[in-house]
């Protein structure tokens, strides 16, 4: 995710590789019982940052590439080609509404790289939002209200990460200014309704199964460019040509402005695919038409493969950011003419 306005960007210095001395010979440190062993030298201990204390080799992380598939939703997340870790996270799940009909959930979060512990922020937000929806939907809470509550729960979970004991963080004096932060976007399919919710610049797209029908972006970015266009100060071309275009104006975190969860309800009139993604994907398929062109034709029947193809599309385009996408096939019977995804 791009840096919020006026937030200093920090980067991790390259980790120095220890130099072996010829005299006296040094034996590599033995891993503690149950500790991780380096995959490269197979003898060194892996430190908490994921590097070998003997040879300095970066170890593969579980979050570098993640995939999950349920009956009606699939998601893929990848570190990308330029970042040293994956700061995105997702949660997908399904539950039942009080009438027994299914509800499918997809939450995608993108850690703010300039903040501290962005990977923890995105994971905490995704898990909290997902758990909130799994609790409220079966109780009969309206899906749009449930989404609002889920975003609030996610915000509280991220805020809690900043509440470390004094001295626990390396830069304690700056922890409020550099609190853990992330964006969030989610979708819930519940009966005939499609609910979306978001804070930040991660997006939801609607791609109809019949590609001759209109496609649509269902979210509006919390970004500098979107703000300029909405205020009538710039047209879209001018705003997105500015170097500040992708600076986010809304996020989850203790240093965020007043939380303003966005939610919207739609009632699709025909089958289609719901694409929930971070900017690591949509930077390579920004318009709804470009996203539809990138989605494989069989993604409705094979959402995991479709998500894999979309992640590959971003990596082939340069993979400059972490990439996460969830696909939810929406199956309804066509009901005659109309828009592909009507706002409720």
Residues 185-224: pLDDT tens digits? 999 999 999 999 999 999 999 999 999 999 999 999 999 9
Residues 99-142: pLDDT tens digits? 999 999 999 999 999 999 999 999 999 999 999 999 999 999 99
Residue 110's pLDDT is 98
Parallel, antiparallel or unpaired: strands 102-111 and 65-69: unpaired
Residue 257's pLDDT is 85
Maximum alpha-carbon separation in the chain: 82
Residue 246's pLDDT is 87
Stretch 298-308: mean pLDDT: 97
Stretch 144-159: mean pLDDT: 99
CB atoms within 10 A of CB 269: 20
Q: Domains, the chain, ranges and CATH?
A: 62-343 (3.60.40.10)
What percentage of the chain exceeds 90 in pLDDT? 69
Average pLDDT, the chain: 87
Residues 17-60: pLDDT tens digits? 344 443 444 444 455 555 677 767 778 888 887 788 998 887 77
Residues 70-109: pLDDT tens digits? 989 999 999 999 998 999 999 999 999 999 999 999 999 9
Q: What is the pTM of this model?
A: 0.81
Residues 270-287: pLDDT tens digits? 999 999 999 999 999 999
Paired tokens of 215: 């496609």
Residue 4's pLDDT is 52
Q: Which residue has the higher pLDDT, 165 or 241?
A: 241
Q: How far is CA 1 from the centre of its chain?
A: 9
């Amino acid at each position: 995710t791009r840096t919020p306005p006026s937030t200093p960007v920090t980067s991790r210095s390259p980790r120095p590789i220890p130099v072996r001395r010829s005299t006296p010979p040094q034996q590599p440190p033995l891993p503690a019982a149950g500790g991780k062993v380096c995959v490269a030298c197979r003898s060194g201990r892996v430190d908490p940052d994921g590097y070998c204390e003997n040879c300095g080799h970066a170890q593969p992380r579980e979050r570098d590439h993640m995939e999950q598939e349920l009956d009606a939703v699939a998601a893929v997340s990848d570190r990308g080609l330029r970042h040293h870790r994956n700061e995105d996270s997702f949660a997908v799940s399904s539950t039942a509404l009080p009438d027994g009909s299914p509800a499918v959930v997809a939450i995608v979060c993108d850690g703010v790289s300039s903040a501290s512990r962005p990977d923890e922020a995105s994971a905490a937000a995704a898990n909290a939002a997902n758990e909130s929806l799994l609790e409220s939907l079966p109780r009969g809470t309206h899906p749009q209200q449930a989404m609002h509550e889920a975003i609030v729960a996610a915000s509280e979970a991220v805020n809690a990460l900043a509440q470390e004991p004094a001295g626990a963080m390396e830069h304690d004096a700056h922890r409020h200014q550099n609190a853990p932060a992330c964006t969030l976007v989610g979708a819930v399919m519940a009966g005939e309704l499609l609910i979306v919710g978001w804070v930040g610049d991660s997006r939801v797209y609607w791609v109809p199964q019949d590609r001759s029908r209109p496609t649509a972006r269902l979210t509006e970015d919390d970004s500098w460019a979107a703000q300029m266009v909405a205020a009538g100060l710039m047209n879209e071309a001018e705003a997105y040509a500015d170097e500040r275009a992708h600076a986010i104006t809304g996020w989850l975190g203790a240093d965020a402005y007043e939380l303003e969860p966005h939610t919207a309800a739609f009632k699709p009139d025909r089958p289609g695919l719901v694409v929930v993604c971070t900017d690591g994907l949509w930077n390579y398929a920004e318009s709804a038409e470009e996203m539809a062109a990138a989605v494989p034709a069989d993604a409705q029947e094979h959402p995991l493969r479709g998500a894999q193809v979309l992640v590959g599309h971003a990596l082939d385009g340069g993979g400059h950011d972490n990439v996460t996408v969830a696909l939810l096939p929406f199956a309804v019977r066509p009901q005659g003419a109309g828009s592909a995804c009507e706002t409720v």
